[in-house]
Amino acid sequence: MDNLTHSLVGWALAETGLKRRTRKGLAACVLAANMPDIDVFFGWAPWPPLAMHRGFTHGLIGGVLLMPPLLAGLLWLLDRWQVRRGVAFPSGLAMHFGWLLALCYLGAITHPLLDWQNTYAIQLLSPASTHWFHADGLFIVSPYLLAMLGAGVWLSRRRAKQARPRAGRPALAALGSAVVFIALNMGISALAWRAPHSGAPHADPERVFAGPQPLAFWRREVVWRQGGMVRFGTYDPLRSLFSLTGYGDPVPDNMADPHVRRAAHATAEIRKFLAWSQMPLARIAEERCRITVTFTDARFTGPAVRGGFTHAVTLPVQAPGCP
């Protein structure tokens, strides 16, 4: 998910009343909810689980178990430094490290739970396993989720300023509504996964993704792989609950082609891309003495995203007359 959504989830948790459990409570919730995305700064790292976005820092070991104590420790050190400098804390709250650590854990676990909802997927068991998990429940930026959470935070803060009792109720209601919304969308995607098999074209997919649309959240763009072929379809439960509403002809993924297999190991960038890609496609362009292989991922082939998910390599071809 986008970092605004992650931040609003952490903020909403804090506004339920948790932020008053300890000094730095709000910071703990919001920062912990964003903390796993620190891996975007480590793409250069020699350790693949860390260099891979949505790898180690998004997993149960790195992101949920190990990183929250580090954040809690940094916030505690910041607080000690401020105390020594004589900083006044308007909240009047005391520092309780136990609560600070608990809030860091709570905020941190929301991050993989949200990122699990996208077709981009996450490696929940990294570094023990490189398997990618996805629930396909949300578009990467959900305006509905932003509206729910934003309204909950705003109303709770407004009630708190008015010194109204149970000021955190709107934030709690927003979080509950978000859980219901996500569960509904996970159910829709589960039906969409089955649709290519349940109805025409009666496929038996090896892997299937059902990407939600940003506004018409109930619709899914379905892509699946079977026997070296990739197919695309659309699913709308308001039109047909158990079958696709449309699908195209199969497209060869070309991943077994000898030229493609050679190109797959040509550069570190392509090796990293293919380690992430779960629905790879390759286009082959042959010239007299060279061949260009362009890799993309079938999950992200729309015109708005294709450029960011495409990698090409040109290789020499041994043929008569070629240098």
Query: Are 15 and 130 members of one domain?
Result: yes
DSSP of 259-321? HHHHHTTS-HHHHHHHHH-SSEEEEEEE-SSEEEEEEEEGGG-STTTGGGGEEEEEEE---TT
Q: 259 and 235 share a domain?
A: no
Token couple for 117: 């909802």
45 and 124 co-located in one domain = yes
**How far is it, in rounded angstroms, from Cα 224 to Cα 257?**
20
Neighbours of 83 (CB within 10 A): 12
**Residue range 262-308, pLDDT digits in tens:** 999 988 889 999 999 999 999 998 887 888 999 999 998 754 444 56
Residues 294 and 261 in one domain: yes
- Name the one residue in this structure whose structure tokens are 């730095």: 24
Residue for token digits 């929940």? 124
Is it the case that residue 9 has pLDDT exceeding 50?
yes
Do 233 and 225 meet the contact criterion of CB atoms below 8 Å apart?
no
Phi and psi torsions of 266, nearest 5° = -70, -40
The whole-chain average pLDDT of the chain stands at 92
For 233-270, how does the pLDDT look when each residue is reduced to its tens digit (9 = 90+)?
999 999 999 999 999 999 999 999 998 999 999 888 89
* Amino acid at position 136, single letter: D
> How many of the other CB atoms lie within 10 Å of CB of 94?
10
In angstroms, rounded to a whole number, what is the distance separating the alpha carbons of residues 322 and 292? 16
* Best CA proximity match to 5, nearest among 172, 178, 216, 187: 178
- Helix (H, G, I), strand (E, B), or coil: what is residue 88? coil
Residue 160 sits at the vertex; the CA angle it makes with 155 and 161, to the nearest 5 degrees, is 100
Residues 57 and 40 in one domain: yes
Query: What pLDDT, on the 0 to 100 scale, is given for residue 303?
Result: 45
The reply to whether 278 and 236 lie within a common domain is no
In a domain, 185, yes or no: no
What pLDDT digit, counting tens, does each position of 203-223 carry?
999 999 999 998 999 999 999
Do 225 and 258 belong together in one domain?
no
Note whether 209 and 270 are same-domain residues. Answer: no
The reply to whether 166 falls in a domain is no
User: What is the pLDDT at residue 321?
Assistant: 67
283 and 263 in a common domain: yes
Name the residue among 113, 132, 122, 244 with its Cα closest to residue 191.
Answer: 244
Phi/psi for 120 (5° steps) reads -60, -35
Radius of gyration of the chain (CA): 24
Of 251, 278, 298, the one marking the end of a domain is 251
Phi-psi bin for 86: left (phi > 0), alpha (psi -120 to 50), beta? left
Report yes or no on 75 lying in a domain.
yes
Q: What burial class does residue 210 get, using C-beta atoms within 10 Å of its C-beta: 0-12 exposed, 13-18 middle, 19+ buried?
A: buried
Tell me if 183 is assigned to some domain. Answer: no
142 near 5, Cβ under 8 Å?
yes
Does position 136 have pLDDT exceeding 50, yes or no?
yes
Is 261 found in the same domain as 247?
A: no
How far is it, in rounded angstroms, from Cα 259 to Cα 250?
Answer: 21
Domain-embedded: residue 29 = yes
Position 260 scores a pLDDT of: 92
Asked whether residue 160 is assigned to any structural domain, the reply reads no
Among 272, 276, 271, 250, CA closest to 261: 271
What is the signed CA dihedral for 82, 88, 92, 93, rounded to 10 degrees? 0
* Structural domain range at position 294: 254-316
Of the three residues 209, 232, 251, the one that is the final residue of a domain is: 251
Q: Chain centroid to CA 56: how far?
A: 13
pLDDT tens per residue, range 89-124: 888 899 999 999 999 999 999 999 999 999 999 999
This prediction has a pTM of: 0.91
Q: Quick check: 229 pLDDT over 60?
A: yes
Q: What is the pLDDT of residue 305?
A: 45
Asked which of 251, 270, 294 is the last residue of a domain, the reply is: 251
Let me know whether 75 and 18 are in one domain: yes
User: Is the pLDDT assigned to residue 128 strictly greater than 50?
Assistant: yes
Q: Quote the number of domains for the chain.
A: 3
Q: 170 in a domain, yes or no? A: no
Angle subtended at Cα 83 by Cα 87 and Cα 32, rounded to the nearest 5 degrees: 95
* Same domain as 130, residue 36: yes
**Whole-number percent of the chain with pLDDT over 70:** 97
Does some domain include residue 321? no
